[in-house]
Structure 1
Amino acid sequence: MIALPTRAGKPDATLAKAVDLAREVVLEVAEPGEVGDHLGAQAEGERIVTHQFACVRPGYPGWYWSVTLTRAKRGKDLTVNEVVLLPGDDAIVAPAWVPYKERLQPGDLSPGDLLPVEDEDARLVPTYLVGDDPLDPPMDADARAQVRRVAEDLGLGRVRTLSREGIDMAAERWYAGPGGPESPLAKSAPDSCWSCGFLVRISGSLSETFGVCANGNANDDGRVVSLDHGCGAHSEVKLARKQQPLPMPEHVFDTLTDDEYELI
């Protein structure tokens, strides 16, 4: 069964009886074998009725044909408004379209691909604005221009840098990712990264929560990890006696001569 939309109001009797006309209209756009049983008629308004027919076209389970008819007041001639194929509640439909920037995942970019950043991206602010304390009085245009010239003289080079929002978004993404404390690797680790000798500290506000792993034998080598992350390659990890490999036996020297070997 297909769940069809319901509307209040009693359908016009003349239009509701025009099932054969509605089917003929559908057959103008569909093959005879694609139109199934009549599913009912719904009132769309005064002297406006929509008929529904089951769709049996291969690949369209749960869809139905919809034909809308109307007539003038006291008129006997029926007019076709539209005929469409619509999905029911259980129909298979394409997923909602998502802009490509929202679909991108780390690793999707290939060599030569370009991903421009919008001018008003909230993650970035002009470099000369960085360091402004919200509690300080706002800088006027002359003061900002002076700061910009100083930044250029110092060779900062970057036109824009991370905003407070950009830093917070990165921190949330890293903390919830595989380098955070909730990953399976971290939950089974003997200790946390904050005490590991392979942790490289970073500067700025993110240094209070994150660092970079520099252990070439670790899964996270070269990646940002939270200080409460961890893995089995911690610099201070020690194997218990039962976990240590068994010692190899001493070498056996073969003292048999060729003559003695033949006598065996």
Structure 2
Amino acid sequence: DAQDLARDAALADAGDAKLVGEFVSVEFDDEGRIASYLFEAHLPAYKGWRWAVTVAKVDSDSDATVCDVVVLPGPDSLLAPDWIPYVDRLAPGDVGVGDIVPSSIDDARLVPGFAALPADEDLDATQIWELGLGRPRVMSIEGRDQASKRWYTGDRGPESDIAKASPKPCASCGFFLGISGSLRGAFGVCANAISPEDGRVVSVDHGCGAHSEATF
């Protein structure tokens, strides 16, 4: 019968009777002319996989013929994880010396320089030349919003342990350098050589023990 035909096809493909196990199930198409027979596959490194043999008949009077023999995963098979595009796999710190990570044309964090308005970039008159004449793209409102949230909720925001233990906030520190642009009201750069935040962007309400006005 068709099941025996399917098993023989699996045995022929396997080349070893030990690799083809018990019958598992059969599935028919809507017209009942095409059937897929499943048999346990005893293949090294393919635990839980199954031989899948497709058998077809032209009509009820014709003989069944084998269409295909493949090995398919079962419900308990060990499978590789779904492929994730590299841009979604990258994490902070992954980019090293010599690595190139091109940004996509449709990156929502960027907009063409000519499309940005002075109000968006909060530029003064001497900087307006960059709009379309310098950088091809500048950060979009969405990009700046993502950056500000990431910085503010990170280790250099107000909720970090070092900030909670600091005597005063960065905004009142003499080593706090303000930045220009639309984020200047929320962030600046630390310039204290003995601070763990030296050379890094910090929120105005961040802080550390190296505050310029700290006292014992």
Structure 2 stretches lacking a partner, 5+ long: 121-126
Q: Distance in 1 between matches of 2:11 and 2:168?
A: 71
Structure 1 stretches lacking a partner, 5+ long: 1-16, 135-149, 240-264
TM-score normalized by the length of structure 1 = 0.64
Identity %: 48
Of 128, 141, 159, which aligns to 1:164?
141
2:12 equivalent in structure 1: 28
Measured at CA, do residues 176 and 22 of structure 1 come closer, stay the same or move farther in structure 2, by a change above 3 Å? Answer: farther
TM-score normalized by the length of structure 2 = 0.76
The within-5 A match list for 1:74-93 is 74-93=60-79
2:99 equivalent in structure 1: 113
Q: Distance in 2 between matches of 1:159 and 1:60?
A: 51
Q: Distance in 1 between matches of 2:17 and 2:153?
A: 55
Q: Write the letter of the residue equivalent to 1:213.
A: C
Deviations 1:210-262 (A, max 9, x none): 222223333332222223434454445556xxxxxxxxxxxxxxxxxxxxxxx
Q: Distance in 1 between matches of 2:27 and 2:65?
A: 16
Deviations 1:91-119 (A, max 9, x none): 22111112222222333333333333344
2:154 equivalent in structure 1: 177
1:46 equivalent in structure 2: 31
Q: Distance in 1 between matches of 2:27 and 2:9?
A: 17
State the 1:50 CA deviation.
1.4
Q: Write the letter of the residue equivalent to 2:109.
A: R
1:4 equivalent in structure 2: none
Q: Distance in 2 between matches of 1:202 and 1:92?
A: 52
| 2:2 counterpart of 1:18 | yes
Contact 2:20 2:39 in 1 (8 A): yes
1:227 equivalent in structure 2: 204
Of 67, 85, 99, which aligns to 2:85?
99
Q: Distance in 1 between matches of 2:55 and 2:30?
A: 11
Measured at CA, do residues 153 and 118 of structure 1 come closer, stay the same or move farther in structure 2, by a change above 3 Å? Answer: closer
SS of structure 1 residue aligned to 2:183: helix
Paired residues, what number?
A: 208
Measured at CA, do residues 191 and 59 of structure 1 come closer, stay the same or move farther in structure 2, by a change above 3 Å? Answer: farther
State the 1:78 CA deviation.
0.8
State the 1:60 CA deviation.
2.0
